[in-house]
Structure 1
Amino acid sequence: MTMNERKTIDLEQGWEFMQKGITRLKNILEGLPEPQFSSGDYMMRYTTIYNMCTQKPPHDYSQQLYDKYRESFEEYITSTVLPSLREKHDEFMLRELVKRWANHKVMVRWLFRFFHYLDRYFIARRSLPPLNEVGLTCFRELVYQELNAKVRDAVISLIDQEREGEQIDRALLKNVLDIFVEIGMGQMDYYENDFEATMLKDTAAYYSRKASNWILDDSCPDYMLKAEECLKREKDRVSHYLHSSSEPKLLEKVQHELLSVCTNRLLDKEHSGCHALLRDDKVEDLSRMFRLFSKIPRGLDPVSSIFKQHVTAEGTALVKQAEDAASNKKADKKDVVGMQEQVFVRKVIELHDKYLAYVNDCFQNHTLFHKALKEAFEVFCNKGVAGSSSAELLATFCDNILKKGGSEKLSDEAIEETLEKVVKLLAYISDKDLFAEFYRIIVGRKKLARRLLFDKSANDDHERSILTKLKQQCGGQFTSKMEGMVTDLTLARENQTHFEEYLSNSPYANPGIDLTVTVLTTGFWPSYKSFDLNLPAEMIKCVEVFRDFYQTKTKHRKLTWIYSLGTCNLIGKFEPKTMELIVTTYQASALLLFNSSDRLSYSEIMTQLNLTDDDVVRLLHSLSCAKYKILNKEPSTKTISSTDHFEFNSNFTDKMRRIKIPLPPVDEKKKVIEDVDKDRRYAIDASIVRIMKSRKVLGHQQLVMECVEQLGRMFKPDFKAIKKRIEDLITRDYLERDKDNPNTFRYLA
């Protein structure tokens, strides 16, 4: 028959046919013996619905079928599903629920196929909820709403059993929790509100109980082991049955209860807390502490603060140790300085190595711990020892290392490595400019002495290497003078060669004495005293010869002779034997006076040499009261006074053929500090002018802050000093005060 003549199916008859199919489906789900649906069976159901929806009104039963579709689910749930769930409890109820949910989804899938035509046309036109959603909503409203609280409590109770070490069926929990997720149909609200919120509360309570017991009974390392293990297990729990979105919230709860709540009690535990772990080098426990506390908000603050206290205390103890050693050895003054520098600086370097390794390894290079280490070292590195500033100690230490590896005879690699470490320490010293000045004085003195006597520098490579390191650390202006010193010495070597050629080409000019002159540039070297020492005739000839030579090379340079740095080799003809004496130019000038006089008074020597009292006393003491008595003194006391008389000691002898007669050093420390102060005044002036030039108008506070920031790399200027320089610049018309606001300055171009 044609389409138009199709027999109308009325609602009762059509639904009875559908009902049979639905009952058969339910029986299959209940496990009763029923034949499976064939594709023919399925097609007949589909066609019946299709026909009932496409008949002419009033026989279009789309709305009625849509309602009956929902009623089928409601009827099945009320008659079969709910009673079977209500009679079961705990794990059995969970298993039943999982089975019922799986069946429900199968039923939804099959009925959707039967009623598919409704979904395609009727629902779309009327904007009604689609069939799948209707099916799931029935379960949600009838089963889930009634049971979710019971289900949640059963699940949480199993989780707690598992936390206590019992075996549970994880797959079952996974399936139950999937229901909470799926019931949301793409939204997580049901899982979060009906399960997760309570589960998190329970977790917090569980770990809060645990923490209050453990914190009393366990050492800090044991407690941390437990905490780490708990976190690992909770993470594991998520991967097995909780939804992945729970992980951060769950771990946050555990960390809060186990770590945040008792941070201080844990870290401050008397025999096992953070202090004790640092004291006993418990590297593994400290690494664990970092791992745990890095996960909680601001958790590393207290750890880094204890680390800073600990390092500060250890460093301060080293300073005290060095102070004590120094005061015990006050008697033997010479030894103190050597001991202090070598041992103290070496120990500070070892301390830095040790804790830098902690920062890199235990604390994973975290900036907070680098900052703590820096601040701790700044505290005690700037203390100084027994009247020597840290800047001076470091400079002397470098010098000792550079003397062929110092007292320890280090290899080249070891020297390089040690210098690298010294430069790292220099970063913590606030008076870097003072270090630079001491270093220049020491290196200058050493280099000159070494070159003038032996004409070879023991380790130019290391000298250059430390300059490179200092340049990287403190910038070019810091090392420019020192680099100038190195260059000067190279040029001086060439200059000497030219001088020797000049002499061999004009024999009449030869002074008859071997002469080595080192010409230096004034700006690079520390300032040395230059007095008009009255030179002996022999030496005057040398000076003139060199001056003539130097004028052939350059017309516009003025030579200033620094006799205080010179050395001479004299031949002393004594009765027992002739000896070679290595002396300073001052000592040589004094001794040569005795070629023409047998006996001279203090005041005669002073007049003939044209020196100050201080210099004459040092000079005569070294020749008549010290180890080598080249001159005899009357009266023969241990100190020099202005009424003394002196004679050449013709009986002097020594087992050596060649001896060096030392002149006691002058205390340069005061002078260094004065020089540095002067340089600082210039630096502050320059900085203020630079800032004002670019800003034109600036308030007092800001000017001071910018100035401190600019100069901070070299030294910490104090506020009073800056204020003083500002006043000075105002009087010199570089700046003026604002008429209305005296705290504001203007730049005067």
Structure 2
Amino acid sequence: MSKMATACTVKSVNNLRVFKIPQQEGADSIVRKLENGLVSILNSRQPNQSLQELYTIIENLHSSHRGVLYEKLQGLLEEALLEILEAVVRECEKMPLLIQFWLRFCSQIVIIKNIFLKCDRSSQNSNKYNTVQQLSMNLFKTLIVMSPQIKNEVTKEILQWIEMQRKEITIDLNQLQNALGMLNELQVYDDIFHTEFLRISHNFYLDEGAHLIDELDVRAYLRHVLARIKEEQEREKDYLKKHTATAVLEIVYKNMIKEHLNKILDKTFQLLYKDVIDEELGILYNLLKKVTLGLKKLEEYFMNYIMNSGNGIVNRPDNDKIMIQELLDFKDKVDVISEKHFNSNEAFSNIIRTAFTKFINNKQNKPAQLLAKYIDAKLRAKDLTEDQLEIILGKVMVLFRYIQGKDIFEAFYKKDLAKRLLLGKSTNQDAEDSMIGRLKSECGPAFTSKIEGMFKDINISQGINNAFKQHLVHNLTPNSSDLCINVLTSSFWPNYSTYNVNLPPELVNYQATFQKFYSNNHSGRKLVWQSNLGHCIVKATFDAGNKELQVSLFQTIVLLLFNEAEKLTFAEILELTNIEVDELKRTLFSLACAKNRVLCKMTKGKEIESEDLFGVNTKFTGKLFRVKINQIQLKESVEEQHATEKSVLADRQFQIDAAIVRILKYRKRLNHNELISELFNILDIPVKPYDLKKRIELLIEREYLERDKDDPTNYTYVA
């Protein structure tokens, strides 16, 4: 392990010159020379003999006296090491001196290994003797490091250094690296250090986790744990072996995260509810990846967070106006969390989809209705660029996918689209086309066929109006007003109530002329006039000057009455117009009690009563030449909303009935559970088993189906 390498590396002695041993000199004398040289080396002194001469002695004697040479070396090493042991034992802090002796000993052994090179090579071939390296390391391990006086102190002092480092006290990193390098070189790293290090690390992080989880804010706690992990990773780079570093990291994750998992998640999501946590979510995610079932627990909390927050949005009283915007903002928020902090993990994307589908549809039809209204408002808006609209439409389509009652959405979308088209309120045809394309892509062409038919009717009506105007010119028909008539296919458009109101004579004549023209060109078609959908520009003269009033047809009918009378009672207006009472009250309120009061209500009271008296407000002023009068009657009432929902529910019943009959007509006979299962598979509307059972019972009463006499759970189609 290169990071723990000691000074005990082999260095060759270059340019060795071989000396001839004089023949008359005896072996004992030669060995004494060698012994003196080795003693000098072990005492860090320059030997009297050159290294080349000592090498030559070994070369000449190794084949016949190898055992003697190794025994002599072992004895000298033991003497030197015992002196080292005695010196180290006397010290209070033993490691610094021990490391100093170790590094010096390693340097000495490098020299001796080069002298004994011939012996070592022969020993490696025979395996009879240990090499100098093996011999010296075994002796240092046995006599010094593993001695009773030293062993425990080595462990204790190394662990003290690491504990100081964990407490941010500066230590001599080189000393620590050399100490663990020594243990590794002597192959006692695991015995002396690894196990005890993990034990004290376990206690350290267990205590620190228990202390800090309650003391620190969870954001600070997560950052602290992350810092601890980085510290332990740095220790692997600096001095720990890989298996030790891996084990201590597991301890950190277990004692600082897993042991306090619920408390960490509780505190984290409390801050998330308050929108006061951000980057720490990513830290939490990465920490939990390393903890058994950590991400599963995070998924549970994330699901609960989305469900609780989502239910809070859709169930909050009086939240209709901002519900969709809040849902879109919340969707953006959880998407950022999932993509930025949870690494776009598919499990969390699925949780978002599942949770949104659940809480949105817990509210039944309301979100579908409000989503249609939200889109209507955006398509009417004049302050949005095309790019901004495209972004908004893309986001609302995500919510649309979650809504199960798409037929409810369709019904309200068509009602709002009708108003945009008939009142000319759509500000961007490209955006309208884009929305239709998105709906068609999501639900298929059948879903948008009627919507596309509505646009087609408007385009065709433009051609009809141009032809009609040419017809009037050609026939020299007098026309003091510029009228535009939309001819709508009833099956495409929402159902509207028909009002039999008293129109101004000029308009009655105009209608008759158009009816004749249209019938001549489109035989077999019947026109039904929807006066409640009309709107007009009425020219009016006040004391302050002339104005143009942008009003509904009902408002127009009322205003024109005051060309013939200065004052009229509610009862008189009702008789003259034949407008339904509630509708007339809304109309008069918009003209006499709202922001732009072109009529005067001459009796006190905020509400419109049957005895009220009205006249023209000749003092009316306005900054603009064209004044828009709030068209209160065009705002969808609660009753109209309920009527729309009721119509959709009736359509659902027809779909269910048709599906039941179609299945049994094909299958002839079917068990109740099998029939319910097939219905759930083919119906794309939100239904409950109870609703299906109820429709089956009604079809039995109407004799489309019958129960099996022997087994009432089986149904048979009645031909």
Sort the TM-score into its range (normalised by shorter chain): 0.5 to 0.7
Match of 1:7 in 2: none
CA distance in 2, matches of 1:17, 1:689: 116
CA distance in 1, matches of 2:28, 2:522: 124
Alignment pair present for 1:459 and 2:428: yes
Instruction: Return 506-515 or 287-296, whichever deviates more.
Output: 506-515
- Post-superposition offset of 1:243: 1.9
The answer for the alignment partner of 1:171 in structure 2 is 174
Candidates 206, 229, 232, aligned match of 2:230: 232
Describe the shift of the 1:36–1:229 C-alpha distance in structure 2 as closer, same or farther (beyond 3 A).
farther
CA deviation digits over 1:631-678, x for unaligned, max 9?
xxxxxx9778xxx9xxxx9x9786789997968466321232123224
Q: Distance in 1 between matches of 2:539 and 2:299?
A: 67
SS of 1:397 mapped into structure 2: helix
Match of 1:28 among 41, 50, 53: 41
Cα deviation per residue 1:219-270 (whole Å; 9 max; x = unaligned)?
444444443333332222222111244333222212322222223345556x
1:633 is matched with: none
Matches within 5 A, 1:49-64: 52=63
Q: In the alignment, which of 475, 486, 500 is matched to residue 507 of structure 1? A: 475
Distance 1:424 1:510 in 2: 54
Letter in 2 for 1:96: F
2:373 pairs with 1:396: yes
The one-character-per-residue Cα deviations of 1:282-332 (angstroms, maximum 9, x if unpaired) are: 445556555555543444566665566566666666667x62xx5xxxxxx
Task: Tell me how far apart the structure 2 counterparts of residues 71 and 699 of structure 1 sit (CA, whole Å).
Answer: 97
Which whole-Å CA distance do the structure 2 matches of 1:22 and 1:371 have between them?
79
- Is 2:275 the partner of 1:275? no
Indicate the residue corresponding to 1:672 in structure 2: 644
Q: Distance in 2 between matches of 1:71 and 1:729?
A: 109
Q: Against the structure 1 CA distance between its residues 727 and 34, is the aligned structure 2 distance closer, same or farther, given a 3 Å change threshold?
A: farther
Question: RMSD value over aligned CA atoms?
Answer: 6.2
Q: Give the partner amino acid of 2:487.
A: V
Aligned pairs for 1:608-687 within 5 A: 616-617=580-581, 664=633, 667-681=639-653
CA contact (8 A) 1:404 1:459 kept: no
One-letter identity of the residue aligned with 1:32? R
Query: SS of the counterpart of 1:88?
Result: helix
Q: Secondary structure at the match of 2:88?
A: coil
Deviation, structure 1 residue 84:
3.0
Contact in 2 for aligned 1:42/1:114 (Cα 8 Å) = no
Confirm or deny: 8 A CA contact 1:312 1:380 kept in the other structure.
Answer: yes
Output the CA distance in 1 between the equivalents of 2:669 and 2:79. 89
Kept after mapping to 1: 8 A contact 2:534/2:553: yes
In structure 1, what is the equivalent of residue 291 of structure 2?
A: 296
Q: Give 1:205 shift.
A: 0.7
2:413 to 420, 429, 439: 439
Letter in 2 for 1:159: I
User: What is the rounded CA distance, in whole Å, between the counterparts of 1:106 and 1:746 in structure 2?
Assistant: 103
Aligned residue type for 2:229: L
2:231 is aligned with what amino acid?
Answer: R
Aligned equivalents of 1:26, 1:551: Cα separation in 2: 130
The whole-number CA distance in structure 1 between the counterparts of 2:30 and 2:704 is 108
CA pair 197-244 structure 1, distance change in 2 beyond 3 A = same
Distance 2:533 2:60 in 1: 119
Asked if the contact 1:311–1:377 (Cα under 8 Å) also holds between the matched residues in 2, the reply is yes
Return closer, same or farther for 1:20/1:358 CA change in 2, 3 Å cut-off: same
Aligned equivalents of 1:690, 1:114: Cα separation in 2: 99
Question: Which amino acid letter does the alignment assign opposite residue 101 of structure 2?
Answer: E
1:668-701 deviations in Å (ceiling 9; x for gaps) = 2123212322444566679899999999999987
Q: How do residues 282-681 of structure 1 correspond to structure 2 at under 5 angstroms?
A: 282-283=277-278, 289-290=284-285, 292-293=287-288, 295-299=290-294, 323=317, 326=318, 341-347=320-326, 349-350=328-329, 357=336, 381=360, 389-405=366-382, 419=393, 421-426=395-400, 429-449=403-423, 451=424, 457-467=426-436, 479=448, 481-501=450-470, 504=473, 507=475, 516-529=484-497, 565-566=533-534, 616-617=580-581, 664=633, 667-681=639-653
1:156 matches 2:169:
no
The separation in 1 between residues aligned to 2:455 and 2:164, in whole angstroms, is: 77
1:93 aligns with 2:62: no
SS in 2 for 1:167: coil
Unaligned runs of 5+ in 2: 1-25, 564-572, 593-597, 600-606
State whether residues 511 and 545 of structure 1, in contact with CA within 8 Å, keep that contact through their aligned partners in structure 2. Answer: no
Separation (CA, whole Å) in 2 of partners of 1:73 and 1:376: 78
- Aligned length, in residue pairs: 656
Over residues 123-149 of structure 1, what are the superposed CA-to-partner deviations in whole Å (9 max), with x where a residue is unaligned?
7xxxx9996996588569846766766
Partner Cα separation in structure 1 for residue 321 and residue 75 of structure 2: 94
CA contact (8 A) 1:293 1:300 kept: yes
How far apart in 2 are the matches of 1:727 and 1:83? 104
Give, in angstroms, the shift of residue 35 of structure 1: 6.0
Q: Is the 8 A contact 1:274 1:286 kept in 2?
A: no
Query: Closer, same or farther in 2 for the Cα pair 1:218/1:572, shift >3 Å?
Result: closer
Residues in 1 aligned to 2:166 and 2:191: alpha-carbon distance in whole angstroms: 23
Amino acid at match of 1:675: S
The corresponding residue for 1:81 is 81
Alpha-carbon contact 1:171-1:241 (below 8 Å) kept: no
- Cα distance in 1 for partners of 2:338, 2:630 equals 51
Of 536-545 and 158-167, more deviation after overlay is shown by 536-545
Q: Residues of 1 paired with 2:183 and 2:100: CA distance?
A: 15
Quote the offset at 1:200 in angstroms: 1.4
For the structure 1 residues 168 and 743, does the alpha-carbon distance in structure 2 shift closer, same or farther, using more than 3 Å as the test? Answer: farther
Percent identity of equivalent pairs: 26
Distance 2:499 2:669 in 1: 48
Q: Which moved more, 1:557-566 or 1:689-698?
A: 689-698
In structure 1, which of residues 194, 198, 203 is the aligned counterpart of residue 201 of structure 2? Answer: 203
| CA spacing shift, 1:355–1:583, aligned 2, 3 Å | closer
Residue identity matched to 2:196:
T
Q: Contact (CA 8 Å) 1:97, 1:176: kept in 2 or not?
A: no
Shift of 1:365: 5.2
Q: Deviation of residue 440 (structure 1)?
A: 1.5
CA distance in 1, matches of 2:56, 2:373: 101
Cα distance per residue 1:516-540 (max 9 Å; x no partner): 3323445543234568999999878
Contact 2:574 2:581 in 1 (8 A): no
Deviations 1:366-414 (A, max 9, x none): 5566566666666765576xx9823223332333333334xxx666666
Distance in 1 separating the partners of 2:52 and 2:446: 92
CA drift of 1:34 comes to 1.9
User: Taking structure 2 as the reference length, what is the TM-score of the superposition?
Assistant: 0.67
Whole-Å separation in 2 of the counterparts to 1:173 and 1:743: 81
Q: Give the whole-Å Cα distance in 1 for the aligned partners of 2:196 and 2:492.
A: 76
